[in-house]
Structure 1
Amino acid sequence: MGQDGGLTIYSLGIETVARAWEANPDGPPGSSLITPAKPVRVRLIEAPIELR
């Protein structure tokens, strides 16, 4: 949520899901402990929806 109380929703499409994962124990604080072995391609499938 934004500072003004609004919420923006993004509809994302994923062409292929990750099937192989790698440990990421040395990642920055708050990051995932596992990451996909190959990059996952994500695309915006429609305009963002803004709720106020």
Structure 2
Amino acid sequence: MEKLIDSTNGEYSRVFDYHLELIRSKPGSTVAVTLDPDEHENNVFERMYVCLDG
């Protein structure tokens, strides 16, 4: 179990890079990233909303 958990560390560390790339490559799109409000010490990814412009 420890090996499985260690393999997911940093899995979401690039979520803001994905956000910026979506905005850059598809102008007019809406992208929102939400972090877990209960985690004050670390930025913990909670959800991501994407609506691509037509």
The bucket for the TM-score relative to the shorter chain is: 0.3 to 0.5
TM-score by length of 1: 0.32
TM-score by length of 2: 0.32
Larger relative contact order (C-alpha < 8 A, sep ≥ 6)?
1
Higher helix share: 2
Higher strand share: 1
